[in-house]
């Protein structure tokens, strides 16, 4: 039915360490099997899977949407102090407390998104990429 279309705009692939497991091709195949016309790939702190996502989308007839799930630096010191979430083996991983999902709407937007991710990796906070 028109107007019933659903598009996943926040999807992590195996390129998101600890947060995604499937290859972009598998995600696109699943979306195509469900009759979805578009699918966004928003890996954490990287755009590494974008080419595979685009190729799989072209093959499956699904419109690719490109984005990233990116950590953002805290504006106040109170937000920066957050309990560490436990991970396997009783170790802890420090995660930036704030995250945003950014989607590109055009080729120019894709270029800006890539520059944003590169800048986050160029000046990491505590070893993790964080956008200002």
Query: What are the start-end ranges of the H helices in the chain?
Result: 24-33, 50-60, 77-80, 107-122
The reported pLDDT for the residue numbered 92 is: 56
pLDDT given at position 11: 96
Q: How far apart are CA 113 and CA 47, in angstroms?
A: 9
- pLDDT of the residue at 76: 55
**pLDDT given for residue 4 in this prediction:** 60
Q: In the prediction, which pLDDT does 38 show? A: 96
Write 84-93 long-range contacts (CB < 8 A, 24+). Answer: 87/18, 93/18
Residue 1 pLDDT: 44
Furthest-apart CA atoms within the chain: distance in Å: 49
Q: What is the pLDDT along the chain (132 residues), one digit of tens a residue?
A: 454 688 999 999 999 988 899 999 999 999 999 999 999 999 999 999 999 999 999 999 999 999 999 999 876 555 445 555 555 555 555 666 789 999 999 999 999 999 999 999 998 888 889 898
**CB neighbours (10 Å) of residue 9?**
14
Give the helix/strand (H/E) hosting 38: strand 38-41
- The third-level CATH classification (topology) of the domain covering 24-122 is TIM Barrel (3.20.20)
**pLDDT at position 106:** 96
Q: Report pLDDT for 96.
A: 63
- Specify the pLDDT at position 3: 45
Domain boundaries, the chain: 24-122
pLDDT at 93: 59
């Amino acid at each position: 039915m028109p107007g019933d279309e659903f598009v996943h705009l926040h999807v992590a692939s195996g390129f998101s360490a600890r947060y995604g497991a499937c290859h972009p091709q598998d995600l696109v195949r699943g979306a195509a099997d469900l009759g979805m016309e578009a699918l966004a790939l928003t890996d954490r702190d990287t755009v590494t899977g974008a080419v595979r996502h685009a190729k799989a989308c072209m093959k499956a007839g699904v419109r690719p949407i490109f984005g990233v799930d990116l950590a953002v630096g805290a504006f106040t010191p109170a937000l920066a102090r957050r309990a560490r979430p436990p991970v396997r083996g009783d170790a802890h991983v420090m995660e930036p407390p704030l995250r945003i999902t950014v989607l590109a709407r055009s080729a120019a937007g894709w270029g800006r998104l890539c520059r944003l991710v590169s800048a986050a990796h160029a000046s990491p906070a505590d070893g993790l990429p964080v956008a200002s």
